[in-house]
Structure 1
Amino acid sequence: MKMKSLTVLALAVLAAVRMAASVQADDAGENKNLFKSPGAKQAAKDFKPAPDKMETNFGSLEFEGGSFPTEASTQKIYDEMDRQRATQAYMDFYPSLSLYSIVKSQIRDFGFKSASDVGVMADFMTPSENYLTGNNITVYAFASIDLKVDGPTVVEIPPGMYGNANDAAFKYLTDFGPTGPDKAKGGKYLFLPPGFKGETPKGYFVFRSPGYRIWAMMRGFGEVGNGDQAVKWFKDRLKVYPLATGPREHTAVNCSGIGANTLPPEDGSVFTMLNEIIQYEPTELFDKELLGRLATLGIEKGKPFKPDQRMQGIFDTAAKQGVAMSRAIVYASRDPEINYWPNRHWEKMFIRNTEFVADGHNDIDARTLWHYQAICVSPNLLSTTAGVGTSYLTAFRDKEGVYLLGDKIYRLRVPAKPPVKRFWAVTAYDPISRSLLGSGGNINVGSTGKPEVNDDGSVDIYFGPKKPEGKKNWIKTDPDKGFFVVFRFYGPLEGYIEKSWILNDFELLE
């Protein structure tokens, strides 16, 4: 009898909870049937207009006759409207700006003459090449492809590559290697331009690109070697050429230490770059709503871009505001899912997925979080299969939640047996450029470098402007600026994926 009473009580409580939830949902408009509950009767007198005098964050506004903006107010309103639209455009188009900046840099700074030329970080990446959170422990090879120039283009890759290709909006096209269709055996990838209507030949992995420019990047390990060996290895094996002509003459450039600027500007000139993208790429690559906003700013396909002095000032302010907002999103995220472990300050670089969608909408802050601090998009950069792909975590703060500063000394204790199939690495970055930290010393410690190991299998890594006495595992910081790190898991295993292995926070020593 007592059990029956408890069951009845439980059902009553459950019914009450459901009713409360239903009422709450109705109040929120989720299930509101206006035919049943339209609200109390209203008349014209119930309309509550905005006042004819307003105080806003961009000044005092006045409206004559109740609603006509005065000349002074009109100017303030349009200035603010343009500034807001330009600021949002900076963030909305940042992925496209980032890829365009990389392609332009490789042609300008490395001297590429055609898409067939390839760049090789044969002596590893250095701080003089400011690739967003690029690493200095693997040999990169890359090509800048232009389907408007060459038409259908072939990327012929050797076996064993790891990499991917992204389109002009920095969206994923395909992986190369073990996670790509060639399954690490190598092969011929054929990229078709927008609107291509010809026949597709057999024997290729075929991808239709919605844009003209493509950036293809891959990493080499083992037999690739480095230095001159790596340059020759890739020149002999990595080929990019128009389908119509077949392989053609090409160069392979050792890009290590040459110097390059791959980052979009952080001032008004970035909108000139954005206009170049809009003029070159097919209109269909971008959302019509976003293009409509750009058109109000004077950026419209087929029309000259001639901002006057007023708009140049607005563009400059908007770019800086876009940078400020992007910095907040990356370094002070308000996303409730940002931390990988709930009691640690290690943060995700991809919050939920690599498509930047959530609950049926574009996950725009998650998109900024990735693209303002990193390049390339692939589902295998967020590995959920043990031993496959990679995963990255960032740390901007110490154990107490305080930003990492270069004039301090910290210790990071990496617990024993990091769950990786290939290797792990910790690399320090400059928060201004989000690129390799140019501290003039070592900025990387990882398992491939045979770090000093404690008796319990853990590894202590020290960070600071001066090397602690008797410590081998040291990353040199710049005392005049902050820094952050990326912890890379190459081939993450169950301990990482299931979160049973937990990485410690930075400890401030002095």
Structure 2
Amino acid sequence: MRTEGTTESGLTNEQLAEEVAHLSTPDRLSTPFGEFEFFDGVPKPESVQTIFDGLDLVRGITAFLNLVPGASLVAMRAGLRTAGVDSPDKIAYTDPKANSGALWLTPNTETTYGVAFLDLKAWGPTVIEAPPQALGVVDDFWFRYVADMGIAGPDKGVGGKYLFLPPGYDGERPDGYYTFESATFTNFVVIRALGGVPAIKQSRIYRLSDADAPPENTFVNIADQVFNTIHSNDFSFFEEIAELVAEEPPAALDPERAGTLRALGIVHGKPFAPDERLRGILDDAARIGAAMARATLYRSRNAESFRWEGSSWKEGFVGGNYEFLHDGARNLDARTLFHYAATVITPAMAHAQVGAGSAYIYTAEDADGALLDGAATYSLRIPPNPPAKNFWAIDIYDTQTRSLLQSAPYPALSSLGEGLQAEADGSYVLWFAPIAPEGKESNWIPTLPGKSWWPLLRLYGPLEPWFDMTWQLPEFIRERG
């Protein structure tokens, strides 16, 4: 029975009014996109376009942050094509190793790379013969893991034949191969081998239909070529993504990300032709998204990013999962962070084992929390007994391009380097400056005035003190005076 001043639900009129207030939009709303005006919750005509512009900007930023992996591989393929690696039978390699001439996301200067792209649409089922003692990975065109080859793969390092099938394939699956089906036609192949260039040149890539008499591959030394493999940070980013979407089956991308792209006019089977309004918004979205990616990379707010409490050194794989999953949820910032800085996805990178694989940490600041300045002089002490079974190395990178800093062909130092001087206690003091401090040339990496830089420490074959955190790397010390 209703009493005076109550509704049928039992709420008082005042309580109902308060509930409605929670559900309502005010007649004037001040936002980062501008002023929105409404009449009793309905957008006024003069505000509708401003609201939709804001929606397109939000979706553009979301697309940038979530689709960096795909754009990265489109740019990688484009760069390799300019270097002459323009078909699956051509395998790029770096002899003797990568240098700072070309633009690559955080390559190391210690190992030799072999790189290729499969085209399962043009070639159909394709075979890769992995050499012995290889560290090979195949990722699809959205930069998702497909297979390991070699030591971390099913051949366990003895070498083997791998068969890669295109999406939707329903043909023959012959015996004698480690067989994988990819969700995309284009696939990225990385081959590293402990035997260096001669071992990489034992690799073979050919059509399954040519298996009885495989043709020779062409090996292209790209070490001294100058080219760009890094995705754009402006409107061109969306053109890179549109290229990928046009080539691959719609089902290759999850519905949520595909839906974001559809709202921006990037749809499989249709040309991407934004008008001037949307083009300008997407240019802004890419630049804002890049700013957010840079903050996530260099100034992470995630406590899981940091290797040690109170330290600025950060993990590249936050959470230790190659799919960036934690309790059933995707760590979106971790995915953006990794792909904005690096290439190649494999479980073997996310889960290093004692004495096997590699571990990585980086920073972008000194002991005072200040950004690293290419005009200043810094020292870094590597404590005694670095926990690396094989060797340790530190490379430094350009904060803009995330490529090797172009202060030297090989802006790096490692425990394998000739002449590296140790201290009496077994530690190493490394120096970073435009000019080497007197008497420190053997332990010096040059920097560039006017530019920032950031280092990445790699431990090859990390040992127990790395995992139990009893070995800790100190901060960079800026020298005064």
TM-score (norm 1): 0.88
- What residue number does 1:56 align with? 31
CA contact (8 A) 1:429 1:485 kept: yes
Deviation (angstroms), 1:315 = 1.1
Report SS of the residue matched to 1:252: strand
Say if 2:101 and 2:409, in contact at 8 Å, map to a contact too: no
Q: Does 1:74 align with 2:26?
A: no
Alpha-carbon shift at residue 233 of structure 1 (Å): 5.3
* In structure 2, distance between residues paired with 1:429 and 1:366: 20
Q: Which amino acid aligns with 2:103?
A: N
Tell me which residue corresponds to 1:3.
none
- Equivalent residue, structure 2, for 1:110: 83
Does 2:478 correspond to 1:498?
Answer: no
1:71 CA drift (Å): 2.8
SS of equivalent residue, structure 2 residue 439: coil
Per the TM alignment, residue 442 of structure 1 is displaced from its structure 2 partner at its CA by 4.9
Percent identity for Structure 1 against Structure 2 = 38
Amino acid at match of 1:455: A
What SS does the corresponding residue of 1:449 show, helix, strand or coil? coil
How many Å apart are 1:359 and its aligned residue?
2.0
CA distance in 2 between counterparts of 1:116 and 1:421 reads: 35
Q: Are 1:382 and 1:390, in contact at CA under 8 Å, matched by a contact in 2?
A: no
Q: CA deviation at 1:312?
A: 1.0
Change (3 A) 1:67 1:382: closer
Match of 1:398 among 366, 372, 391: 366
Give the match for residue 262 of structure 2: 295
Residues 129 and 204 in structure 2, CA contact (< 8 A), matched pair in contact too: yes
Q: How far 1:147 moved relative to its partner?
A: 0.9
Q: In the alignment, what sits opposite 1:8? A: none
Taking the aligned partners of 1:167 and 1:442, their CA distance within structure 2 comes to: 30
Paired amino acid for 1:206: T
2:153 & 2:218 partners in 1: Cα distance?
26
| 1:243 pairs with one of 184, 204, 208 | 208
1:333 aligns with 2:307: no
Q: CA deviation at 1:145?
A: 0.7
Aligned pair partner of 2:393 in 414, 425, 441? 425
Aligned pairs for 1:222-301 within 5 A: 222=195, 224=196, 230=197, 234-235=200-201, 237-246=202-211, 247-301=214-268
Unaligned runs of 5+ in 2: 1-8
Is the aligned partner of 1:315 residue 2:282? yes
1:142-178 deviation digits (Å, cap 9, x = unpaired): 1111111111111111101113111111111222221
Structure 1 residue 461 and structure 2 residue 430: aligned? Answer: yes
User: Structure 1 runs of 4+ off > 3 angstroms?
Assistant: 39-46, 232-235
Give the drift of 1:465.
Answer: 0.6
Aligned counterpart in structure 2 of residue 358 of structure 1, from 308, 326, 330: 326
Cα distance, 1:385 vs structure 2: 1.8
- How far 1:40 sits from its partner (Å)? 7.5
Cα distance per residue 1:34-78 (max 9 Å; x no partner): xxxxx97477643121112111111111123x2332232111111
Alpha-carbon shift at residue 343 of structure 1 (Å): 3.0
User: What is the CA–CA distance in structure 1 between the aligned matches of 2:12 and 2:250, rounded to whole Å?
Assistant: 46
Question: Structure 1: how far apart are the matches of 2:179 and 2:409?
Answer: 44
Letter in 2 for 1:452: Q
Does the aligned pair in 1 maintain the 2:131–2:193 contact within 8 Å?
Answer: no
Q: Deviations over 1:205-250 (max 9, x none)?
A: 111111111111122334x3xxxxx3x6544x11111111232243
Checking the alignment, whether the CA contact within 8 Å between 2:100 and 2:410 is kept in structure 1 is: no
Given the two structures, how large is their TM-score scaled by the length of structure 2?
A: 0.93
Deviation at 1:344, TM superposition (A): 2.0
In 2, the alpha carbon distance for the partners of 1:460 and 1:314 equals 48
Amino acid of the structure 1 residue aligned with 2:70: S
Cα distance per residue 1:428-479 (max 9 Å; x no partner): 0001001100013651111111421111110110001110000120000011
CA distance in 2, matches of 1:98, 1:251: 24
Q: Distance in 2 between matches of 1:460 and 1:40?
A: 75
Residue in 1 aligned with 2:160?
A: 187
The answer to whether the 8 Å contact 2:384/2:425 transfers is yes
Paired residue for 1:122, among 84, 91, 95? 95
* Residue 136 of structure 1: how far off its partner (Å): 1.4
RMSD: 1.6
Deviation of 1:252 (Å): 0.5
Look up the match of 1:305: 272
Q: How many residues align?
A: 462
Q: CA deviation at 1:274?
A: 0.9
> Is the contact made by 1:234 and 1:252 (CA closer than 8 Å) also made in structure 2?
no
Q: Which runs of 5+ in 1 are unaligned?
A: 1-38, 225-229
Name the SS for the 1:50 alignment partner. Answer: coil
Cα distance between partner residues in 1 of 2:453 and 2:302: 22
Name the SS for the 2:136 alignment partner.
strand
Task: Report the Cα distance in structure 2 between the residues aligned to 1:444 and 1:464, rounded to whole angstroms.
Answer: 13
Q: Deviations over 1:324-364 (max 9, x none)?
A: 01001001100011111113221100111222011221110
- Write the distance in 1 (CA, Å) between the matches of 2:261 and 2:365: 37
| Cα distance between partner residues in 1 of 2:460 and 2:348 | 11
Determine the C-alpha separation between the residues in 2 that align with 1:503 and 1:55: 47
Give deviations 1:353-382, integer Å, cap 9, x for gaps.
222011221110000110000000112213
Residue type at the aligned position of 2:139: N
Q: Specify the code of the residue in structure 2 equivalent to 1:396.
A: A
2:380 matched to 1:412?
yes
